[in-house]
């Protein structure tokens, strides 16, 4: 699968990302001002609540604080308080005292794009069955604007977690920017700076490595670190802050995960969207098995254990993209093709910012005023996966695979170590075992 905006080398990416971060932030602020002015927030099916974080940092539980075990890092106050906050119980327990027996936990991992999150949360609020499950929102960094949106969620149980070792939480030391670190193509000996360059000679960029760190921390924490989910035996669905989800997504996913053992025993996962992010599906009367995608993917603990055993491979592969790392290093090591099962029509789409495309074409979905211009047909509002269907299997699809050397950006041994620490921090270490 081609992901056009990932193609350029790391320096271009860094610059473009910075540029788009600036532009998106600017337009985000403008949009938010407009949204608030025109009061369209009241259209949303969830409301803001005023009780902000009165209990922030106030809960002292006897639970082990994992950060003490991380050899690498001296934690600052913010990092410690975030770690404590992660132990707080979910919100809305009063509204949703029980979860459905066969629920699929949903994890949404986000950074700092409030207008995107607003759109995603809005789409989640319309999902049939959402009230039966737990929504976990994993934050890369601490941002009030993002918290406000999460505070407003009333349509299901919500648990918020914050990556306590995010580069965004360390403004002047590793894994954030530290004054002694080498930049760009500096030479650590000649320039007396710290760091190892990647395979292309570039030094780490905290902003860029934060995504892979967050994904890996989040995976380890959700499967092995939270008391809300460590006993969860079913699937967990993963989404990003720019993934719009259709009203039928949850019911479709329940069907797919039930059908998977019988219809596609060689499938490791169930997906809401095609692995080609531009496709909306084939519309056939058939299930589809294909290579793992990175939009709306779900799998169970058995698969997580397989991934976790490849921690060394994941953490040392010189590519700053978690998904390319999985395709090139982790899945190929499973010893056979890694297929996922999905329906013939998508139930989730990756949207971009209108006018600010990162390799997306004009026709693809984009966001404006906290709303996404995705046309939903009636068939997208009800479950549209049939248990009587057969499976169409795509073999040998294009895309990143074993042998690709990586886009770089992940050459610093401190990043490799931190990443490995995340895999060990909950006391499970089975790397190398079959």
Whether cis (ω within 30° of 0) applies to the bond prior to 57 is no
Smallest distance, Å, CB 305 to ligand NAG?
Answer: 10
Does the annotation place 140 within a ligand binding site? yes
For the chain, the straight-line distance linking the first and the last C-alpha, in angstroms and rounded, comes to 29
Does the annotation place 213 within a ligand binding site? no
- Please say whether the beta carbons of 91 and 118 come within 8 A: no
Q: Which lies closer to ligand NAG via its Cβ, residue 42 or residue 233?
A: 233
Smallest distance, Å, CB 192 to ligand NAG?
Answer: 51
- Token pair 């057969």: residue: 390
Ranges within 266-285 binding ligand NAG (CB under 6 A): 267-268
Q: Which lies closer to ligand NAG via its Cβ, residue 189 or residue 231?
A: 231
Residue nearest to ligand NAG as judged by C-beta position: 300
Does the annotation place 350 within a ligand binding site? yes
User: Of 112, 199, 101, 204, which Cα lies nearest the Cα of 149?
Assistant: 112
Q: Which lies closer to ligand NAG via its Cβ, residue 197 or residue 293?
A: 293
Smallest distance, Å, CB 235 to ligand NAG?
Answer: 8
Taking CB under 6 A as the rule, which mask of x and - marks residues 295-334 in contact with ligand NAG? -----x-xx-------------------------------
Q: Which lies closer to ligand NAG via its Cβ, residue 133 or residue 300?
A: 300
Q: Which lies closer to ligand NAG via its Cβ, residue 302 or residue 396?
A: 302
Smallest distance, Å, CB 194 to ligand NAG?
Answer: 42
Question: d(Cα 182, Cα 185) in Å, to the nearest integer?
Answer: 8
Smallest distance, Å, CB 315 to ligand NAG?
Answer: 24
The reply to whether 208 sits near ligand NAG by the rule CB under 6 A is no
- Token pair 């998904």: residue: 323
The pairing of strands 287-291 and 391-393 is parallel
The reply to whether 340 sits near ligand NAG by the rule CB under 6 A is no
Q: How many residues bind ligand NAG (CB under 6 A)?
A: 6
Smallest distance, Å, CB 293 to ligand NAG?
Answer: 15
Q: How many CB atoms lie within 10 A of CB 7?
A: 11
The reply to whether 434 sits near ligand NAG by the rule CB under 6 A is no
Q: Is the alpha carbon torsion for 263, 266, 270, 276 positive or negative? A: negative
Q: Which lies closer to ligand NAG via its Cβ, residue 203 or residue 260?
A: 260
Ranges within 212-271 binding ligand NAG (CB under 6 A): 260, 267-268
Q: Which lies closer to ligand NAG via its Cβ, residue 264 or residue 372?
A: 264
Return binding residues for Mn(2+): 242, 350
Return binding residues for substrate: 140
- Enumerate binding residues for ligand NAG (CB under 6 A): 260, 267-268, 300, 302-303
Return binding residues: 140, 242, 350
């Amino acid at each position: 699968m081609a992901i056009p905006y990932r193609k350029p080398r790391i320096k271009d990416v860094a610059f473009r990302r910075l540029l788009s971060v600036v532009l998106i932030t600017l337009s985000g602020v403008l949009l938010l001002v407009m949204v608030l002015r025109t009061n369209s927030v009241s259209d949303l099916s969830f409301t803001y609540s005023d009780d902000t974080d009165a209990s922030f940092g106030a809960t002292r539980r006897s639970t082990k604080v994992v950060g003490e075990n991380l050899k690498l890092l001296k934690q600052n106050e913010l990092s410690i308080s975030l770690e404590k906050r992660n132990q707080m119980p979910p919100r809305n327990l009063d509204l949703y005292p029980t979860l459905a027996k066969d629920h699929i936990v949903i994890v949404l991992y986000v950074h700092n794009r409030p207008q995107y999150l607003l759109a995603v949360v809005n789409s989640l609020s319309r999902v049939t069955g959402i009230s039966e499950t737990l929504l976990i929102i994993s934050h890369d960094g601490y941002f009030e604007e993002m918290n406000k949106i999460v505070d407003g969620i009333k349509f299901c149980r919500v648990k918020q977690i914050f990556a306590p070792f995010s580069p965004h939480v360390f403004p002047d030391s590793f894994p954030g920017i530290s004054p002694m670190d080498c930049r760009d193509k500096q030479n650590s000996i000649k320039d007396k700076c710290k760091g190892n360059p990647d395979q292309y000679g570039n030094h780490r960029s905290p902003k860029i490595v934060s995504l892979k760190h967050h994904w890996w921390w989040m995976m380890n924490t959700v499967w092995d670190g939270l008391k809300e989910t460590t006993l969860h035996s079913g699937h967990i669905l993963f989404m990003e802050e720019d993934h719009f989800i259709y009203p039928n997504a949850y019911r479709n996913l329940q069907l797919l995960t039930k059908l998977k053992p019988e219809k596609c025993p060689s499938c490791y996962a169930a997906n809401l969207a095609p692995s080609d992010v531009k496709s909306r599906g084939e519309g056939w009367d058939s299930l589809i098995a294909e290579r793992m995608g990175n939009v709306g993917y779900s799998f169970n603990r058995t698969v997580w254990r397989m991934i976790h055993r490849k921690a060394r491979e994941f953490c040392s592969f010189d590519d700053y993209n978690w998904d390319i790392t999985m395709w090139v290093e982790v899945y190929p090591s499973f010893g056979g093709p890694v297929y996922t099962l999905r329906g013939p029509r998508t139930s989730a789409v990756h949207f971009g910012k209108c006018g600010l495309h990162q390799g997306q074409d004009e026709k693809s979905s984009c966001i404006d005023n906290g709303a996404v211009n995705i046309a939903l047909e009636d068939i997208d509002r009800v479950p549209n996966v049939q248990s009587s269907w057969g499976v169409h299997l795509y073999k040998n699809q294009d895309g990143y695979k074993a042998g690709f050397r990586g886009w770089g950006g992940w050459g610093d041994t401190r990043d490799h170590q931190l990443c490995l620490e995340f895999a060990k921090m909950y006391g499970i270490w089975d790397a190398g075992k079959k």
